[in-house]
């Protein structure tokens, strides 16, 4: 920090403060974690200075031999860890991984067969008229994904996102009564819509998914099954999700981030069955810019860590701790979406405290409890104010929290929420944003969490 501070002291100060904030609060954002020191150090090397567009052994720049090593080691660890025939380590983030996967699927399912029909090796060989026709076909495909308010991600076909614009999209949701995935309803929708791609996976669904069933549905309608395991990759790596709950053997293409429950650097990965591998391998320059070699190196280190036996203990603790947190909230009167959890996420419906998600998130933050507001199914408060807060266990599990600590976290959260009242708008009506947290509660909660 002294070296950084000698150039720009404000960045050194913000970096120091960030450490204080992250270590001094209860970090319960379900998509965050604490990467290890080896992972953090690997991100800060001179690999950042190297350009290496292309793929292993086929670069558009000279002098990429060390980047080749880095990318090959990262891909090898990913294949071994997840039992995948092929792994691509270049995506800079989860969204980039999903875009890479979408275009690889389009290349494999639409572009490849069209080129074959026309006897061309690549699109440069097509006449302008043939190219226009192919472009039309690429832009006319269908995608079925999980809706945002049921727990899906923006990139799963949400209209305002590029995935909702580049595909004709439809969404499946959860059962209005149980709030659980209804596979028969997904099947019916798939048969009616006949998508090219079905996306499974979630950002805010507190339950496991049966990926064997999702593959069955995809096969029935001739769709490619793409699973986005960004959130629960750590639970797959740690063998908490196995058999039908392990997406990798069932999906044609699996994408993930590396920084959530997997506990690596910020970044993405694409895993694929052999037939999709050549298309995914063209991710750069098809979709991606030059690879972030320092980040691929850090992914390799994190994946090596996740292959150690103690990562399985960590992953199991993430799930056990989510149970403890859920039970702690339920026994104190909390209302949970789906009634509980069997992964790393607890989705607390805060309407029972008379609050919106926005009010709850802010009051909790005042007390040093960091969560994010989140829609609940059929949310009456919409996607901005919401009615829930999403709580995740990966980060505090890394800090060594167990059953008793998560029960205490539940107690502290309920103490904050039950001492928070909705505020008023300037005109004197009920506000969805402002709130009043009773005096002394924030300090009391902070003092107790500092002891944990």
Q: Which residues bind ligand PLP (CB under 6 A)?
A: 31, 93-95, 153, 155, 201, 203, 228, 230-231, 257
Q: CB of 155: closest distance to ligand PLP in angstroms?
A: 6
Q: Is 222 annotated as a binding residue?
A: no
- Euclidean distance between CA atoms 378 and 402, whole angstroms: 33
- Euclidean distance between CA atoms 116 and 207, whole angstroms: 42
Paired tokens of 141: 């495909």
Give the count of alpha carbons within 13 A of 65, CB side only. 1
275 classed as catalytic: no
Give the count of alpha carbons within 13 A of 386, CB side only. 26
Instruction: Give 107 or 295: the residue with its C-beta nearer to ligand PLP.
Output: 295
- Range 246-284 burial, b when 16+ CB lie within 10 A, else e: bbbbbbbbbbbbbbbbbbbbbbbbbbbbeebbebbbbbb
- Helices 293-306 and 65-82 cross at an angle (nearest 10°) of 30
Taking the CB of residue 37, how many other CB atoms lie within 10 A of it? 8
Instruction: Give 60 or 384: the residue with its C-beta nearer to ligand PLP.
Output: 384
Instruction: Give 247 or 328: the residue with its C-beta nearer to ligand PLP.
Output: 247
- Range 429-446 burial, b when 16+ CB lie within 10 A, else e: eebbeebebeeebbebbb
Cβ proximity of 95 and 155 under 8 Å: yes
Task: Tell me which of 257, 258, 338, 398 is the catalytic residue.
Answer: 257
Burial class (CB in 10 A: 0-12, 13-18, 19+), 8: exposed
List the beta strands (DSSP E) in 292-429: 335-336, 345-349, 369-370, 372-374, 388-392, 420-424
- Euclidean distance between CA atoms 178 and 192, whole angstroms: 24
Task: Tell me which of 228, 281, 305, 361 is the catalytic residue.
Answer: 228
51 classed as catalytic: yes
411 classed as catalytic: no
189 classed as catalytic: no
Instruction: Give 94 or 234: the residue with its C-beta nearer to ligand PLP.
Output: 94
Instruction: Give 109 or 260: the residue with its C-beta nearer to ligand PLP.
Output: 260
Closest CA to 233 of 247, 249, 215, 214: 247
Q: Is 274 annotated as a binding residue?
A: yes
Task: Tell me which of 32, 34, 50, 53 is the catalytic residue.
Answer: 53
Cα distances from 213 to residues 82, 172, 187, 419, in angstroms, run 20, 15, 9, 44
Burial class (CB in 10 A: 0-12, 13-18, 19+), 363: buried
Instruction: Give 257 or 343: the residue with its C-beta nearer to ligand PLP.
Output: 257
Q: Is the dihedral of CA 36, 37, 39, 43 positive or negative?
A: positive
Task: Tell me which of 32, 34, 50, 51 is the catalytic residue.
Answer: 51
Q: CB of 386: closest distance to ligand PLP in angstroms?
A: 15
Q: CB of 96: closest distance to ligand PLP in angstroms?
A: 6
Q: Is 156 annotated as a binding residue?
A: no
- Euclidean distance between CA atoms 218 and 266, whole angstroms: 30
Paired tokens of 239: 């063998």
Instruction: Give 160 or 333: the residue with its C-beta nearer to ligand PLP.
Output: 160
Q: Is 148 annotated as a binding residue?
A: yes
53 classed as catalytic: yes
Task: Tell me which of 142, 187, 213, 266 is the catalytic residue.
Answer: 266
220 classed as catalytic: no
Q: CB of 203: closest distance to ligand PLP in angstroms?
A: 3
Q: CB of 452: closest distance to ligand PLP in angstroms?
A: 26
Q: CB of 239: closest distance to ligand PLP in angstroms?
A: 20
Residue whose Cβ sits closest to ligand PLP:
94
Q: Is 305 annotated as a binding residue?
A: no
Q: CB of 284: closest distance to ligand PLP in angstroms?
A: 16
Task: Tell me which of 59, 207, 215, 260 is the catalytic residue.
Answer: 260
Catalytic residues: 51, 53, 228, 257, 260, 266
Q: What are the binding residues for (6S)-5,6,7,8-tetrahydrofolate?
A: 148, 152-154, 274
List, as residue ranges, the binding site: 148, 152-154, 274
């Amino acid at each position: 920090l002294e070296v950084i501070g000698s150039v720009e002291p404000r960045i050194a100060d913000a970096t120091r403060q960030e450490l204080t904030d992250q270590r001094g609060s209860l970090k319960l954002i379900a998509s965050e974690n604490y990467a290890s020191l080896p992972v953090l150090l690997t991100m800060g090397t001179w690999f950042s200075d190297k350009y290496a567009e292309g793929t292993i052994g086929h670069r558009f720049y000279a002098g990429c031999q060390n980047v080749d090593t880095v990318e090959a080691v990262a891909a090898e660890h990913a294949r071994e860890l997840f039992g995948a025939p092929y792994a691509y380590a270049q995506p800079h983030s989860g969204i980039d991984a999903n875009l890479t996967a979408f275009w690889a699927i389009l290349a494999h399912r639409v572009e490849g067969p069209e080129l074959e029909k026309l006897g061309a090796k690549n699109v440069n060989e097509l006449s302008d008229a043939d190219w226009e026709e192919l472009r039309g076909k690429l832009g006319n495909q269908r995608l079925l994904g999980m809706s945002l308010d049921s727990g899906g991600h923006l990139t799963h076909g949400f209209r305002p996102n590029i995935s909702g614009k580049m595909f004709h999209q439809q969404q499946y949701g959860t059962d209005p009564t149980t709030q659980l995935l209804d596979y028969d309803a997904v099947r019916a929708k798939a048969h009616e819509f006949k998508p090219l791609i079905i996306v499974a996976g979630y950002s805010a669904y507190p339950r496991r998914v049966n990926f064997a069933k999702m593959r069955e549905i995809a096969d029935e309608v001739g769709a490619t099954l793409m699973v986005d395991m960004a959130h629960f990759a750590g639970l797959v790596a740690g063998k908490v999700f196995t058999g039908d709950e392990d997406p990798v053997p069932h999906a044609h293409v699996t994408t993930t981030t590396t920084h959530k429950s997997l506990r690596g650097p910020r970044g993405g990965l694409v895993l694929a069955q052999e037939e999709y591998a050549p298309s995914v391998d063209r991710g750069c320059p098809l979709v991606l810019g030059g690879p972030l070699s320092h980040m691929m190196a850090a992914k390799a280190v994190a994946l090596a860590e996740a292959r150690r036996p103690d990562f399985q203990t960590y992953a199991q603790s993430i799930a056990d701790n989510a149970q403890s947190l859920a039970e702690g909230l339920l026994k104190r009167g909390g209302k949970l979406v789906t009634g509980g959890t069997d992964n790393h996420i607890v989705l607390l419906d805060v309407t029972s405290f008379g609050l919106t998600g926005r009010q709850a998130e802010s009051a909790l933050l005042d007390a040093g409890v960091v969560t994010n507001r989140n829609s609940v199914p059929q949310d009456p408060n919409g996607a901005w104010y919401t009615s829930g807060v999403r709580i995740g266990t990966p980060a505090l599990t890394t800090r060594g929290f167990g059953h008793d600590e998560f029960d205490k976290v539940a107690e502290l959260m309920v103490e904050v929420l039950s001492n928070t009242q909705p505020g008023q708008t300037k005109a004197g009506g009920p506000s969805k944003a402002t709130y009043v947290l009773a005096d002394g509660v924030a300090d009391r909660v902070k003092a107790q969490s500092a002891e944990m």
